[in-house]
Chains A and B, each alone.
Chain A
Amino acid sequence: GAGVSQSPSNKVTEKGKDVELRCDPISGHTALYWYRQSLGQGLEFLIYFQGNSAPDKSGLPSDRFSAERTGGSVSTLTIQRTQQEDSAVYLCASSLGPGDEQYFGPGTRLTVT
């Protein structure tokens, strides 16, 4: 079956602009996660959605970052007023249930100039 998909694969934006990153999880997966990975670094947790529960936003680095998940499926991560330090690969993952094996999308490489 289809895996996790993310779009765009690459995004170059100017400092101060807003960007939206999209994630389409595996069908039937109730949990969805967003991570950020800077070059040569580990995974930084951003936000976690589980079913209809309130999301765990504890990893969002600032109020410029927000995410939503519509209809329990597609998720959008929005970064407002982008800064150069936001440059990274943004990874989305989904799992069948909370804490199950996570399956990652290919990521969106964001470059802020």
Chain B
Amino acid sequence: QKEVEQNSGPLSVPEGAIASLNCTYSDRGSQSFFWYRQYSGKSPELIMSIYSNGDKEDGRFTAQLNKASQYVSLLIRDSQPSDSATYLCAQRGNAGKSTFGDGTTLTVKP
């Protein structure tokens, strides 16, 4: 079992819809979780970090963490074609090293 699992997709949503990206993790002791966005041919860029159970909102993005279910999600409201990218979930592991999922590819269709 991978430490961080994501659906590879592709996930396709129409412009203006809500995109929901999901991630599960195996390390129950993990305290920090991150979402990164990676455009094709570019390096990953940080979107959100979340450390506590519940929701964290930043503009059109909402991260949700459920430690009991070992589940992290990212919601993108009012999806735009510019949101089309691969989204990487990561968890902080022991001694500071983070483990990344393989990413979910999102396509927002105009």
Q: Are B34 and A101 in contact (CB under 8 A)?
A: yes
Given A42-B88, A42-B102, verify A104-B45 contact (CB < 8 Å): yes
Which one, A31, A42, A99, contacts B32 given CB within 8 A? A99
Stretch at the interface among B13-21, B62-70, B73-81, B93-101: B93-101
In the complex with contacts A42-B88, A104-B45, A50-B101 CB distance below 8 A: no
Does the CB pair B43–A98 fall under 8 Å? no
**B96 & A99 in contact (Cβ 8 Å cutoff):** yes
B82-110 toward A: CB 8 Å interface, digit per residue (1/0)? 00000010101101111111110000000
Q: How far in angstroms is the closest Cβ of chain B from A3?
A: 10
| B interface residues, tally (CB under 8 Å) | 21
Number of A residues, CB within 8 Å of B: 23
Q: Which of B46, B90, B99 has the most CB of A within 10 A?
A: B46
Q: Across the interface, do A101 and B96 meet the contact criterion of CB distance under 8 Å?
A: no
A74 to B88, CA, bound (A): 26
A15 to B93 CA separation, bound complex (whole angstroms)? 35
Binding site for B on A (CB under 8 A): 31, 33, 35, 41-43, 45, 48, 50, 56, 91, 95, 97-107
